[in-house]
Chains A and B, each alone.
Chain A
């Protein structure tokens, strides 16, 4: 059993395809693992045991009938709890949606099911994806498998913790300001934010519509690529989805190389606030890229200094509007409906009880930023900064094929450490936010452990929009070199649970 859960998704699928393993065996092994460790980790909000086994049986039956199986058929997957799943609760980590059973599948959910993946359940997250630690979940924090007293990052901490603790080989995340990449970095896993529009947002409960992007969480670059390919591509139900084929990410992941590539190191992503061990591992990664044949150049992106401020105007503004629908009228929590109160009062009481502090903070920030008289100064200016950031990217991508940086300035912090200091929490996304504002593709992959605390450090790679394959090409080369250097994947150094 232990062997099964440590397999990569690619190997698992291969063994199911040849009959060496059945999908049911694989599902059962993971369900047993969840049973054994998730009490400690708390990566899952909901485990759909019956549904998973049923999907696994369907894959096995298909194989027995000799029908062709997709490249990930029978591989278990965990979904961040903001992808709608027909018949399975979807809470977005919030009390306001407690008990809501969506009547429809997100496009990602549907594509995964069609590709034969086995949905194990829904993972924990910061409420409405607002946070960098998963502590903002209304259902309690998730532990980092490397040290359960530390956060697994956020908002998608549940997804990354689930794969880092071998409860699932793959998971789906969403990345609005770093919610896939930052958790990947602090859990020693791989996470990819595809180009904005590369993966359908239909059925992803919205936080900030112009920034939200679903993407893969995995333990290897190839696994991430396989998942990316399964979920990507145009969706007529999402107007903002790109009407073009998925970039050749799998092919790139299978032929990793940085030979002759120009790699840009962003000047702005170092200095105060960066942990020494993080900087050290990052510098070693740059050195490695050079050894592998890349040409390293330093690039200057002055507008990136404004990214965090712009993000904290745009994301709250959009969220203040997106979350308005949670009004107790049609679904979810309803508080105070005792027959004496008006609809307005019930809505107010429900929102007061159903939303957590961080959500309320951002709804208020956004409401203020969009108010007439303030719009130009706040939302308007933030949109201009966004344009400047996009121009910075455009300019430096003439000098470099990809950019690299640390994914997040520090390793995993302790649960509770930053809970009362929103600004300190927001800084965790300093390096990841620019790619969201500009819509670029970006990846985080492990680049070692920080010497001072022995916790994983993430290397971020950023590619131009619609050139997602470059992430995989570079990522696969770096991953192979590190694994060779370390003698094993980084995750094997994590304590056993």
Chain B
């Protein structure tokens, strides 16, 4: 698709234009029940098994507010340094779509629960950028449509559609930034860092797992360009449902290049929604917003206004956890890592697993090594967050301890981790079943060393002659003979000893 879209090289685009961004993030709250009825919010249930008259929009059914949902919204607002409304209402957003049971979404319009806040985000080089928050409001999710018979699940060309209302009515918080200006060439990085920081915040508050790959957190990227040094915003495009941190950055980058091309050609940017394509990082035109959609908002008459008492709001403010950025700075110091490394850990979604692994007994270097290395690779391949892998921090900590004790080397440890991930049991079980213990039987090792020396006389002579570096070949032979289950350092020691060479 990129081929059909004119793009200006990124640096060139930034030389002429200043990007202006607006980010809208939807977060599915992790409440036990839906926003306006008692149905379960658990994921993965058979289609339409978690529905009732209210979330199916049956005639006569009425909504009742989920108090935990309201509380979560207020806590998010407070953590974003927002003002909390003393009195606000839900509103109906009217439009027709088959996966929306009432054909209106119960949302908030001009009276959001939280408004006027900010979130500080840290960039790769350690500098802080403040993103201003316009508002955070409560609403309900829609059902899910599956279009059958057409190409790639799109409605166009589909023969029919299946509707699952399990998701309908799950509480959502929509967090909208004020226009983000002044980020310049770092706009895509700011977008990514903002979404990442927000995700950390949501998790720290415990209001949602905010797993983007599960759709629990979804981002719309609004972007426009204005001539460098100007102050009049250009026409924006809205790239919908960008569902990973990397995609947020890529989408912003692509749109900057595309807008620049449009503007440079003398054309005007069309106000429209755009689809993001994971495969090549491009966006394509969705719905043109020629006539602004008229949602005919009006106050929801079926719900009473929300009027959180100041005492309650203060209580919630007082019970907020340590904010993620503060916490990261603290951990950074404790772990002794650079801002850049910390950023990588954050981007990988590995902070919580690492903290938990350290708590379970691993030292911090080992915990970081495994989560940012082997496990990050597995997570990447599986397209999930490291924390969602089928291995627990306790199990990783156990592997680290086994390595430290010398019962495993790194190579064996990787096999143990693979075994755990494959569902073969805990680390000790995998060690047992796969027989993955470092050979520490000195007699057996000594025999293997002697065999290796005998079979490689020429090399042995070189070593005797002072070419200690040549010992590597003999170590390799021993490792091969022991199927990798020997402690390589110890093997080398034994070889040199046997050949009467000191290692200094």
Establish whether residues A371 and B62, one from each chain, have CB atoms under 8 Å apart when the complex forms.
Answer: no
Q: Does B502 contact A (CB under 8 A)?
A: no
Provide the bound-state CA to CA distance between A28 and B60, in Å.
Answer: 30
Residues of B within 8 A of A344 (CB): 96
Residues from 318 to 337 in A contacting B, C-beta threshold 8 Å: 318, 320-321, 324-327, 329-331
With contacts A104-B53, A201-B62 known, is A239 near B161, CB below 8 A? no
Q: How far is the CA of A225 from the CA of B110 in the complex (A)?
A: 42
Query: Per DSSP, are chain B's interface residues mostly helix, strand or loop, or mixed?
Result: loop
Report the interface size for chain A: residues with CB under 8 A from the other chain.
46
Among B68-76, B300-308, B448-456, the stretch that binds chain A is B300-308
In the complex, are the beta carbons of B60 and A204 less than 8 A apart? Answer: yes
A202 (CB) vs chain B CBs: closest residue? B62
Q: How far is the CB of B33 from chain A (nearest CB, A)?
A: 13
In the bound complex, CA of A208 to CA of B302 (Å): 10
Contact check, A206 vs B60: say whether CB atoms are below 8 A apart: yes
Asked if B296 and A321 sit within 8 Å, CB to CB, the answer is yes
Q: Does B215 contact A (CB under 8 A)?
A: no
Inter-chain contact A239/B64, CB cutoff 8 Å: yes
Within the complex, which residue of B58, B103, B161 is in contact with A103, where a contact is CB–CB below 8 Å? B58
Closest to B54 in A: A237
Quick check: B163 and A102 within 8 Å, CB to CB? no
Q: Which of B56, B60, B64, B302 contacts A82 (CB 8 A)?
A: B60
- Specify which of A97, A238, A317, A326 is in contact with B62 (CB 8 Å cutoff): A238
Find residues 344-378 in chain A having any chain B CB closer than 8 Å to their own CB. Answer: 344, 347, 367, 370-372, 375
Given A104-B58, A324-B96, CB of A372 within 8 Å of CB of B102? no
Give the interface SS of chain A, mostly helix, strand, loop or mixed.
loop
Contacts of B298 in A (CB 8 A): 317-318, 321, 370, 375, 379
Give the distance in Å from the alpha carbon of A103 to the alpha carbon of B61 in the complex. 11
Which A residues are CB-close (under 8 A) to B118? none
Given the known inter-chain contacts A239-B64, A367-B296, please indicate yes or no for A90 contacting B59, CB distance below 8 A: yes
In the complex, are the beta carbons of B101 and A325 less than 8 A apart?
yes
Q: Using Cβ atoms and an 8 Å threshold, which residues of chain A touch B163?
A: 329
Determine if B425 is an interface residue (Cβ-Cβ < 8 Å): no
Q: How far is the CA of A237 from the CA of B96 in the complex (A)?
A: 26
Q: Is the CB of A239 within 8 A of B60?
A: no
A residues 222-240 near B (Cβ < 8 Å) are 236-240
Residue in A104, A330, A367, A370 whose CB lies within 8 Å of B57: A330
| Interfacial chain B residues near A209, Cβ < 8 Å | 301-302
A239 touches which one: B65, B102, B104, B292 (CB < 8 A)? Answer: B65
Q: Pick from B60, B92, B292, B302 the residue with the most CB of A within 10 Å.
A: B60
Which B residues are CB-close (under 8 A) to A201? 62
Chain B hits for A280, CB < 8 A: none
A-B contact pairs, 11 of them (CB 8 A): A97-B59, A206-B60, A208-B301, A209-B301, A209-B302, A237-B62, A239-B65, A324-B94, A331-B58, A370-B94, A375-B297
Using a CB–CB distance below 8 Å, which chain A residues touch chain B?
82-84, 90, 92, 97, 100, 102-104, 106, 201-206, 208-210, 236-240, 317-318, 320-321, 324-327, 329-331, 339, 343-344, 347, 367, 370-372, 375, 379
Residues of chain B having any CB pair with chain A under 8 Å: 53, 56-65, 92, 94, 96, 98, 101-104, 159, 161, 163, 292, 294, 296-298, 301-304
